[in-house]
Amino acid sequence: MNHLRLGFALTILAFAGNVQSAPVEAQQAEVVGHLAAAFATHDPARITHAYRTMGDYALPAAEIVESTVNDMGYELLENGEIDAAIKVFDLNANTFPSSAKAWDSLAEAVMTKGAYESAIRYYRVSLALDPEGKNAAEMIERMTSKQQFSYVSGIKI
């Protein structure tokens, strides 16, 4: 949890003008504060609402926000909260649709849940965005091989 607090501190610093000397608006600081409070609840609905209300205020620190949200998803995944992790990763991928990393993370979470067809679809999006993405290519190959085996053996995996 401490790394998440650090991530939000970095986000708040970015909005406060400490990164690239960007001026801060009171509304930006308020919106980021709401996002930090929502993450503290671990409630995907509150996180989604706070994240989406950031709008253009997220743009100056988009990479930090994207990375922090991705870290939150992995923390949930590591704690066995797979459905919550999927919601967080889905939010991130749809908020940052050109991020190969966001789609790769979503694919990993849905694969963990056993939704291999969805995972392959998300890994393909990741690979299209980053053709050098070795993880996505490897995971597509693994799951495709498993699916072919499962159909041959009559066992659905």
The percent of residues above 70 in pLDDT, for the chain, comes to 65
Stretch 89-108: mean pLDDT, rounded? 92
CATH superfamily of 97-157: Tetratricopeptide repeat domain (1.25.40.10)
Taking the domains of the chain in order of start, what are their residue ranges?
Answer: 1-88, 97-157
- 7-11, 30-34, 129-133: least confidently modelled range: 7-11
Q: Give the tens place of pLDDT for each residue, 20-69.
A: 334 445 655 666 677 778 777 777 778 777 777 776 565 555 666 788 78
**Residue of higher predicted confidence among 30 and 13:** 30
Instruction: Supply the DSSP string of 98-114, one letter for each residue.
Output: T-HHHHHHHHHHHHHHT
Residue 154, pLDDT score: 44
**Residue of higher predicted confidence among 91 and 124:** 124
- Degrees, nearest 5: CA angle 92-80-113: 70
pTM score, whole prediction: 0.63
